[in-house]
Amino acid sequence: MKTDTSNAKRTAADDRLTSNTIFELLCEDHRRYALSYLTQRVGAVRLEELIDRLAHRDGEPTPERIEQLTVEFHHNHLQKFLDAEVLQYDTEAGTVERRAAASSLDPYLELASVNDLSLAE
């Protein structure tokens, strides 16, 4: 007899990420910042807003820099987040939102932000 699991509820154990996935997601500075930014927000955030924050973080944003970050985010970072199921992307609304699995990254983000701050001093 085959068990139908199509309607099964996800558990906290299902939302755990492998160490390889965690390291891959957090190895890039823009991904760490994007995840940290989304951690501080409730609900969905317009992708334009997130990219604008990344551009401001890197210095004075120019239209060229924003375009470069937009392309980079769409073709590299966003896909990694979606593959790992840590973000949800609404293409029609142009918004991104953290999913439950993203909470697995929070302790590492906290450590990384302390390290990033100490490197900036």
Give the domain ranges of the chain: 19-116
Q: Quick one: which H or E segment has residue 45?
A: strand 45-46
CATH label, 19-116, candidates 1.10.3470, 2.70.70, 3.40.190, 1.10.10: 1.10.10
> Tokens for 81?
């987040």
Q: How far is CA 99 from CA 63, 75, 117, 120, in A?
A: 30, 20, 26, 30
pTM: 0.78
Rounded CA separation 46/105 (Å): 21
> How far is residue 80 CA from its own chain's centroid?
8
Rounded CA separation 117/80 (Å): 25
In order along its 121 residues, the chain shows pLDDT tens digits of 443 434 434 444 445 799 999 999 999 999 999 999 999 999 999 999 999 999 998 888 899 999 999 999 999 999 999 999 999 999 999 999 999 999 999 999 988 775 554 434 3
Is there a contact between 48 and 95 (Cβ–Cβ < 8 Å)?
A: no
CB count, 10 Å around CB of 87? Answer: 21
